[in-house]
Amino acid sequence: MNNELVPMEDTQPLDSEMQLDILEPQPNHIELPPNNAEQQPTKRRKKKSIVWEHFTIETVGAGCRRACCKQCKQSFAYSTGSKVAGTSHLKRHIAKGTCPVVLRNQEKNQLSPYSAPSKMSTFSDTPKRRYRTASVPLISFDADRCRHEIARMIIMHDYPLHMVEHPGFVAFVQNLQPRFDMVSFNTVQGDCVATYLREKQSIQKVIEGMPGRVCLTLDLWSSSRTIGYMFVSGQFIDSDWKMHRKLLNVIMEPYPESDTAFSHSVAACLSDWSMDGKLFSVTINQALSDASVDNLRALLSVKNPLVLDGQLLVGNCLARSLSSIVQDALASVGGIVKKVRDSVKYVKTSESREEKFIELKQQLQVPSSKNLAIDDQTQWNTTYEMLLAASELKEVFSCLDTSDPDYKDAPSVEDWKQIETLCTYLKPLFDTANLLTTAATPTTNTFFHEAWKIQLELARAAASEDPFVSSLTKFMQEKFDKYWKSCCFILAIAVVMDPRFKMKLVEFSFSKIYGEEAASYVKVVDEGIHELFLEYVALPLPLTPAYAEEANGASIKPEDPQGMGISSNGLGLTDFD
């Protein structure tokens, strides 16, 4: 074991001092001062190791001696009885820069913070066995790399550029690395722009090699000065079949309410990235006027005339549509939602009240495993989860006033009934929203399953004889119907591309939604998919390498007979099965 841990230069015969310790019979040997020559034992060989220029040996007990650093006065094991620790760990203390005094001296002499002192160059110049130590890796100071990391940090976290001139941040950086000259506002601004240009160039190369087309999403943000900023994102698939989603442009629109604001931003983005002829579809995250829609369709017809003559314009984003519908539904029963929220706040804002609530729940043996949580009113999913948990614990709230007389204004039985009804019809919207926020990128054919089920359920609920259910879901169905009408064509084309469904699911779902009129809607999709096919056949696009290789020699695998087990994939299409 010792032969593995001690380097070769330390596995030498014990010096005379160590030999005397082992041979002399008395255990309490004490090292005498040098000027006491008449009492010293036999003459000892002078220590040759350079370590002893930095350490002294001190006896701390019977047969126990420790090496003490002359610089920082820290002591290390040296010998205990006949066992000798050697000098390797002493060398590391000096050579590896773990001695705090040596570190300070290095800073004064402007040496590298991880370099060894000049007297210890013997250790670093000769190759030898590596030690398993937890020391900091040897990294030289690089001012340019530090500047790059500051710019990267500001970009990643949206920090203000003036941050580099804040006294607290400047002091913090100086304490981390005194040799770094802090950059100014103008310098870091230039570094951020340079980083942007480098990243843009790399994305430009990916787009140039893109075998297909790009789908754009537009999102308009307004400022307090009524100036609009259009965020243009692009989604595309590269030659390796990897999906990319990039924020391509932020375009200032002085007149965001104009009918040409969106079409201008699309044209500017295509020109900036040299993507003329590569546009596939455009998705807008808000409602537009008819004139704005016409302008966008005209632009699509010009930029990609070979792809359904500009029909691939998605007027509404599914996530935004869901959010708008849920917010309106919550507002329609705002008074009851506030009662529930106040009740949850009453319990959650006091530890003693929460303990009483839990005790009462156990006494009543309420089976719910959900925990109460106060919602964030800017995120409707948290409001839904709060209402769902509270409705499952309604029995506890109903009896809470018996054990806590301060609890008042509890929701009534009718209130809880309406909350349960609300949660029932919000659940499919909540599940769909969760699908949109998964780590994997959901594809359009998945949206079709969710969208047609929501459309069908809301249409059935709106025709309910229950006046509350009908009034609650009627306007929800009307708003979702706008999304469905603007997007069902694109969603249907995507689901036809899924070999598990092809046209069968479109025919099945349309028959549920449209009844006797389903045939006309199915015909539109059928004609659109054939037209799209013929246009793609005429396009002079080469096959991607992976697909070309597969088409030239690979055998086609037979279809999995279980492939139509749709319900097992969590799509909930048991009726279709």
State the pLDDT at residue 11: 41
pLDDT (tens digit, 9 = 90+) per residue, 467-495?
999 999 998 988 888 888 878 888 888 88
The segments of the chain whose pLDDT lies below 50 read 1-42, 110-128, 131, 551, 553-570
Most distant CA pair in the chain: distance in Å? 121
State the pLDDT at residue 435: 82
Residue 235 structure tokens: 């989604």
Do 182 and 170 meet the contact criterion of CB atoms below 8 Å apart?
yes
Closest by CA to 320, choosing from 229, 432, 232, 224, is 432
Burial class (CB in 10 A: 0-12, 13-18, 19+), 240: exposed
pLDDT (tens digit, 9 = 90+) per residue, 33-54?
444 444 444 455 556 677 787 8
State the pLDDT at residue 159: 94
State the pLDDT at residue 441: 66
State the pLDDT at residue 307: 60
Distance of alpha carbon 91 from alpha carbon 123, whole angstroms: 8
State which amino acid sits at residue 289: S
Please list, in sequence order, all residues whose beta carbon lies within 8 angstroms of the beta carbon of residue 426, skipping any fewer than 6 positions away: 326, 329, 384
Do 206 and 198 meet the contact criterion of CB atoms below 8 Å apart?
no
- 3-state SS assignment for residue 373: coil
